[in-house]
């Protein structure tokens, strides 16, 4: 039996929504898990590089692979161990760019293996296993559920989330530079503790952000998309980010500029009239720093992970 799952990319944090806000994007990885026929064949992991990303060369193809680790956790949760499996990972989401590539393959692997096993894990269990491997929910939840999601961990370890409104006229411009930034490095520069006033700043702005989306209020969104918990530290290692943000600060057609996840990709929210200007300006800013880049304009992907026939 063979099961394939298609999982979207994500952009997360959204300024004040550190580790709790994330959005699915229409770029996809596909993960196939297949029971092999020959006993004793073991675990076979293949990587299909769909976008010519050099980072794919460094993905482990043994028990250290995060897809295998996720599947192993699922098997262990029901008292089993994976034995003869072929895992194929087709990569379309750029690696180490802040677009949720890890979350997508983790979710895909768990869902595919779960179906092979007869669906012993419910949604809560799937998300819990994925969280254990990935570490946080802001990418995992929208990769699984699609849409624009606010997610949380409760004190007892349970996970819950809500899908939020995202106005159709608000375009998501994903600006991807031609350099990598591993999440563990981007996390390592964050402080162990944050100042009380900074935490209060983010809480208030997160509330404003949720209200702006609910009311489709672009002026309020401009005020809300600010952060004091992660971007002030990460902008030091993301070349050009502060320049890009300042470029659009007074542009009425651009509603905000934030890091995508841990970076280095940048998310610019605008109306449709500013899409070309955003693309040209961002490419020019990075070009002056000798950095090649691509800019993609998306609407939110409302569908999360889906099985492929």
Please determine, for residue 215, whether its predicted confidence score (pLDDT) is greater than 90. yes
**291 & 209 share domain:** yes
**214 & 278 share domain:** yes
**83 & 213 share domain:** no
Instruction: Sort 157 into a burial class: Cβ within 10 Å, 0-12 / 13-18 / 19+.
Output: exposed
Mean pLDDT across 199-203: 98
**157 & 10 share domain:** yes
Here the CATH number for the domain that contains residue 10 is: 3.30.230.10
Here the CATH number for the domain that contains residue 272 is: 3.30.70.890
Contacts of 56 (CB under 8 A, 6+ apart): 47, 49, 91, 95
Distance from C-alpha of 54 to C-alpha of 179, rounded to nearest angstrom: 11
Which domain covers residue 254, as residue numbers? 171-298
**Which three-class secondary structure state does DSSP give residue 247?**
helix
pTM of the model: 0.94
The mean pLDDT of the chain is 94
Q: What pLDDT score does 61 carry?
A: 85
End-to-end CA distance of the chain: 12
**Which three-class secondary structure state does DSSP give residue 175?**
strand
Q: What pLDDT score does 291 carry?
A: 97
Kindly report the backbone phi and psi dihedral angles of residue 233, in degrees, each rounded to the nearest multiple of 5, phi listed first.
-90, -40
Across 81-90, 141-150, 197-206, 297-306, least confident range? 81-90
Please determine, for residue 198, whether its predicted confidence score (pLDDT) is greater than 70. yes
**126 & 186 share domain:** no
Condensed to tens digits (0 to 9), the pLDDT of residues 36-93 reads 876 666 789 999 986 666 667 678 888 899 999 999 999 999 999 887 899 999 999 9
Please determine, for residue 165, whether its predicted confidence score (pLDDT) is greater than 80. yes
DSSP assignment of 23-74? EEEEEEEEEEEEE-SSTT--EEEEEEESS--GGGGGS--STTSHHHHHHHHH
**154 & 176 share domain:** no
**128 & 230 share domain:** no
Q: What pLDDT score does 53 carry?
A: 65
User: C-alpha distances in angstroms, 13 versus 46, 97, 261?
Assistant: 31, 14, 6
Of 38 and 164, the one with more pLDDT: 164
**124 & 191 share domain:** no
Which residue, among 257, 253, 254, has the nearest Cα to 227 in the 3D structure?
Answer: 257
Distance from C-alpha of 117 to C-alpha of 115, rounded to nearest angstrom: 5
Of 62 and 256, the one with more pLDDT: 256
Q: What pLDDT score does 50 carry?
A: 66
Condensed to tens digits (0 to 9), the pLDDT of residues 88-136 reads 999 999 988 999 999 999 999 999 999 999 999 999 999 999 999 998 8
Structural domain count of the chain: 2
Q: What pLDDT score does 136 carry?
A: 87
Please determine, for residue 309, whether its predicted confidence score (pLDDT) is greater than 70. yes
**160 & 176 share domain:** no
**294 & 260 share domain:** yes
Please determine, for residue 296, whether its predicted confidence score (pLDDT) is greater than 90. yes
**205 & 238 share domain:** yes
The strand pairing partners of 269, in sequence order, are 172, 256
**14 & 154 share domain:** yes
């Amino acid at each position: 039996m063979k099961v394939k799952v298609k999982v979207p990319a994500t952009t997360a944090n959204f300024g004040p929504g550190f580790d709790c806000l994330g959005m699915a994007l229409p770029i996809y990885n596909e993960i196939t898990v297949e029971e092999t026929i020959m006993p004793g064949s073991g675990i076979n992991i293949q990587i299909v590089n769909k976008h010519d990303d050099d980072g794919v060369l460094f993905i482990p193809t043994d028990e250290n692979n995060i897809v295998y680790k996720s599947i192993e956790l699922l098997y262990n949760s029901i008292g089993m161990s994976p034995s003869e499996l072929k895992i194929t990972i087709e990569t379309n989401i750029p690696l180490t760019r802040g677009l949720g590539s890890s979350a997508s393959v983790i979710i895909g692997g768990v869902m595919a293996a779960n179906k092979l096993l007869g669906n012993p894990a419910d949604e809560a269990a799937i998300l819990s296993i994925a969280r254990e491997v990935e570490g946080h929910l802001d990418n995992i939840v929208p990769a699984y559920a699609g849409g624009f999601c606010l997610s949380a961990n409760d004190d007892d370890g349970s996970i819950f989330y809500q899908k939020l409104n995202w106005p159709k006229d608000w375009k998501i411009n994903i600006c991807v530079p031609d350099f990598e930034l591993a999440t563990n490095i981007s996390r390592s520069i964050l402080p162990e503790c944050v100042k009380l006033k900074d935490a209060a700043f983010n809480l208030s702005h997160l509330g404003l952000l949720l209200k702006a989306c609910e009311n489709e209020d672009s002026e309020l969104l401009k005020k809300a998309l600010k952060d004091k918990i992660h971007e002030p530290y990460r902008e030091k290692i993301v070349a050009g980010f502060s320049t890009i943000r300042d470029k659009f600060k007074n542009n009425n057609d651009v509603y905000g500029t934030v890091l995508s996840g841990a970076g280095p990709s940048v998310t610019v929210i605008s109306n449709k009239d500013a899409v070309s200007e955003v693309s040209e300006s961002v490419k020019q800013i990075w070009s002056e720093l000798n950095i090649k880049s691509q800019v993609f304009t998306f609407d939110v992907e409302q569908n999360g992970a889906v099985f492929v026939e």
